Structure 1
Amino acid sequence: MSLPAAEDDAPAAAPPAPAGLGRFVRGSLGSGASVLARAGGALALNKLLAVYGGPGGLTLLAHFQNLMALLTTLPNDGVHVGIVKYLAPQRPGSADWRRWLAAGALLNAAVLVLSFALLPLLRGPLLAVFDPSPSWVAGLLAGISLLTGHAYLGAVLLAAQRLRAYVGLTVALSLAGPLAVAAALAAGRPLPQVLLAYLLGQGLMLLPTALLCAHYGLLRGPRRLPGRPALLALGRFLLMALSVLLCSKAVDFVVRDLLISRFSLAETGLWQAAAKLSDNYTMVFSAVMGAAYYPRLAALAGNPREQRAYVRAVFGLLAGVLAAGLGALWLLRDWLLPLLFDERFAGARGLLGPQLLGDWAKLLAWTLLYSLMAEARVGRYVLVQALSAAVYAGLLALLLPRLGLAGAPWAHAARFGLLLLGCALYFRPLRRSS
């Protein structure tokens, strides 16, 4: 069920593990500008909403971002991941390039239409907290459509190896959201409208992205509609993204709703501060791995020995780097929480330890699970997501009554500790030398 290797990735040309690791490190450093911009923009946004709305405002921001994720996960984690895989070996403007480009655009449109059609059925649990008007809902749908278009064309730039343009657009996107929020706050808008301004500010980045893609000749359409094989190939990535949507994004939304109902908006905001800090460096990790790790891993799908050596080298490097970085965050927690959020968030210090521990295990487990994604092993990937979500639900039911709010980060730590252990057992051939 594995995908074919890229045409120019003959086994003899694959680098040995040390060279592959060097490539990963150089790629990680090369994407530093976009990563820093994304992290800085997220921190600025958190600070603005924390100061303006306190713990409750930060909780609403997280709820809105989670809503955005629910509506964009299938395109971003499905179609866009697959399109990079299939466009990368093609020459821009060729018949194959145009066929894949059209297939991705068609699937994105279909997914958005389906998501928007289902939204009224879930209006209560998804939107009620924002007290939305019809114009607010219309703005939400427009913003999601624009943002998805921008993300798709960004994936096209990445597949065409237009990294400088991709980095520049990522930096601009990271600034657009906080600037739109600052303008809305300065105009005295209520919080739901401020959050909508954040989405629309990012969505308007579609225009410069489309102009750049047109400039590089990446948007030539096919002479006929894409065939069934292309749609089915990308559909496998949609199935994996669907498992992420149901077993991760939706679960996060439900857990936050549960905590708000069980505790209060302000108390949940303390847990949210620890989770938002986690979201920031997880975003950085995902950006680096998406640009520097996953494309090479996918290219080595036809050479299992070199792929194992590459994964082993990157995993060993990340285990130490992540432990050092997350340990430093824990030592600096009393200084960081007031700095990044507000003095009212100092109560989150006791929740940060288990959150960081769980994140160390989560990010290392993800490093291994990228192998399933690169090989399009849909059944196994979906099974992992489902089991992980089920374990998390059981842990929350067990720990929340006993530990109160602290049960949430401890359930997170136990969930990903068990996932890392399971991945270590499943991927044990990686420990063998090549």
Structure 2
Amino acid sequence: MFQVSAASSPPHRAVWRGFVRGSLGTGVAVVARGAGALVLNKLFAVYAPAGGLTLLAQFQNLMALLTTLPNDGVQVGMVKYLAPLRPGSPRYRAWLGAAAGLNAGALLVGTIALASRGLLGWGWPSLAAFVLGIGLLTGQSLLGAALLAAGRLRDHIGLTVVLAALGTGAAAAALWRQLPLNVVLLAYLLAQGLTLVPALVLAARAGLLQHLKPGARISRGALRGLSQFLLMAVSSLLFGKAVDYVLRDYLLGAFGPARTDLWQAVAKLSDNYTMVFAAVMSSVFYPRLAALATDPRAARRYLQGVLGLVAPVLAAGLVLIFACRNWLLPLLFAPHLLGAREFLAPQLLGDWAKFLSWLFIFQLTARARTGPYIAVQAASAVVFGALLVLLLPRFGLHGAVWAHAGRYGLLLLACIVIHAMAPKHG
């Protein structure tokens, strides 16, 4: 039978202590990213024209469409394969070279797709600036992952702080000067891309770039190894980021910018604490789970121990957000977005289920279970699409948040059932 309690057992106490210590270690980076996001959302809610908050989210979603394959695919696999290797060794260079090649390929494919579809209706100069910013950001992400694999957590945190400060500062300066909205968004992206410079310096100091040869042949074995993670990222892109982009575009057309901004305020609030949760899970939970991939019984105990801690803590935190909604929404965004509170309850309910289901899905990533991972992502997207088709005509904009709650509630239920039925040894 599936169990998540047993809080008094020594193994679970040990899991909790290790998890909490690791989580606190990432606190500076999480606070920096969270503070940057909050300030950015506030600036756009107050100083951008109607629909500006939704356009910011759509632009960030477009950024994610081009960075998901490198960040959620190549870099995740690179951390797994680089961690046990000595920087500068032939195998290390092979994995790093394959990762750089795959990132370049993903950027090329994304650029071709953008050139054929356009960039939010903007012109070619904006497209060129956007691709440049994405390229710089991808390079920074690659080096940041190499630093993380080498155990240089302090350097990785420093890059995160600089990235948040530069992006938010550039957007604030552009808004203060009342520049066009597309210029503000591009300034936000390009400023983040500038973190490639300190990333190069930190990687060189750590000895991660030694003996690299730019013209060296890319290892086919490394390409095959990283491609498993790339395929999983493709599923996240198609069944996650792309779905979000299309949904937001539909809501803008169906309900208008001002009304959609209310829904977007709740989604942005969700993005802020989701970013915190994802940062902790990817830097603390995932590496430990990946290390236990060859010991399914220990991995199962670790998952259940973390789940027993996270589930009630998340519930308490989300209930607190709901209780503070009347002053929290105007504080974080703007007074005219207080109406967003009508969408908050189902969003929070769905987020709680989403976070817990992520803990189960991390197992598939840690064990490189590409097929099951893609199947889960596809099934989740299909359910979400069906719920949107069913609920949007009946409940209007409220249907979007109830579809979100239904999607992740069903996903969590499926994860629990599968976990309970799985053999205890694997």
* Structure 2 length-normalised TM: 0.95
Structure 2 residue corresponding to 1:414, chosen from 406, 410, 416:
406
1:391-430 pair list within 5 angstroms: 391-428=383-420
Aligned to 2:181: 191
Aligned to 2:58: 63
- The Cα of 1:94 is off from its aligned counterpart by 1.7
Within the alignment, does 1:96 sit opposite 2:72 as a pair?
A: no
* Moved segments of 4+, more than 3 Å: 15-18, 221-224, 429-434
Within the alignment, does 1:24 sit opposite 2:19 as a pair?
A: yes
Kept in 2, the 8 Å contact 1:54–1:342? The answer is no
Structure 1 residue corresponding to 2:193, chosen from 193, 203, 216:
203
One-letter identity of the residue aligned with 1:150? Q
- The Cα of 1:21 is off from its aligned counterpart by 2.9
Q: What secondary structure is seen at the aligned counterpart in 1 of 2:297?
A: helix
What are the ranges of 5 or more consecutive residues in structure 1 without an aligned counterpart? 1-14
In structure 2, how many angstroms separate the alpha carbons of the residues matched to 1:319 and 1:145?
Answer: 38
1:116-265 pair list within 5 angstroms: 116-123=111-118, 127-128=119-120, 131-222=121-212, 224-265=216-257
In structure 2, how many angstroms separate the alpha carbons of the residues matched to 1:217 and 1:119?
Answer: 36
Kept in 2, the 8 Å contact 1:312–1:430? The answer is no
Kept in 2, the 8 Å contact 1:311–1:430? The answer is no
Q: What secondary structure is seen at the aligned counterpart in 1 of 2:263?
A: helix
In structure 2, how many angstroms separate the alpha carbons of the residues matched to 1:419 and 1:212?
Answer: 40
Aligned to 2:67: 72
1:119–1:309 distance in 2 versus 1, CA, 3 Å: same
- The Cα of 1:282 is off from its aligned counterpart by 0.5
- The Cα of 1:133 is off from its aligned counterpart by 2.1
Aligned to 1:339: 331
Percent of aligned positions that are identical: 57
One-letter identity of the residue aligned with 2:386? G
Aligned to 2:292: 300
1:258–1:319 distance in 2 versus 1, CA, 3 Å: same
- The Cα of 1:161 is off from its aligned counterpart by 0.4
One-letter identity of the residue aligned with 1:115? G
What are the ranges of 5 or more consecutive residues in structure 2 without an aligned counterpart? 1-9
- The Cα of 1:221 is off from its aligned counterpart by 4.3
Aligned to 2:3: none
RMSD: 1.6
Within the alignment, does 1:40 sit opposite 2:40 as a pair?
A: no
1:355–1:143 distance in 2 versus 1, CA, 3 Å: same
- The Cα of 1:188 is off from its aligned counterpart by 2.2
In structure 1, how many angstroms separate the alpha carbons of the residues matched to 2:164 and 2:219?
Answer: 36
In structure 2, how many angstroms separate the alpha carbons of the residues matched to 1:121 and 1:105?
Answer: 25
Aligned to 1:8: none
- The Cα of 1:152 is off from its aligned counterpart by 0.9
In structure 2, how many angstroms separate the alpha carbons of the residues matched to 1:71 and 1:393?
Answer: 22
- The Cα of 1:24 is off from its aligned counterpart by 1.4
Aligned to 1:10: none
- The Cα of 1:415 is off from its aligned counterpart by 0.4
One-letter identity of the residue aligned with 1:185? L
One-letter identity of the residue aligned with 2:218? P
Structure 2 residue corresponding to 1:111, chosen from 106, 109, 130:
106
One-letter identity of the residue aligned with 2:81? Y
In structure 1, how many angstroms separate the alpha carbons of the residues matched to 2:291 and 2:206?
Answer: 24
In structure 2, how many angstroms separate the alpha carbons of the residues matched to 1:342 and 1:54?
Answer: 12
Q: What secondary structure is seen at the aligned counterpart in 1 of 2:209?
A: coil
In structure 2, how many angstroms separate the alpha carbons of the residues matched to 1:25 and 1:54?
Answer: 42
- The Cα of 1:298 is off from its aligned counterpart by 0.4
Aligned to 2:7: none
Kept in 1, the 8 Å contact 2:384–2:407? The answer is yes
Task: Provide Cα deviations, 1:314-353, integer angstroms capped at 9, x if missing partner.
Answer: 0111101100000100000011100000011011101000
Instruction: Report the count of equivalent residues.
Output: 415
Aligned to 2:5: none
In structure 2, how many angstroms separate the alpha carbons of the residues matched to 1:85 and 1:24?
Answer: 19
In structure 1, how many angstroms separate the alpha carbons of the residues matched to 2:191 and 2:268?
Answer: 21
Kept in 1, the 8 Å contact 2:88–2:212? The answer is no
Aligned to 2:374: 382
- The Cα of 1:122 is off from its aligned counterpart by 2.1
One-letter identity of the residue aligned with 1:246? L
Q: What secondary structure is seen at the aligned counterpart in 1 of 2:292?
A: helix
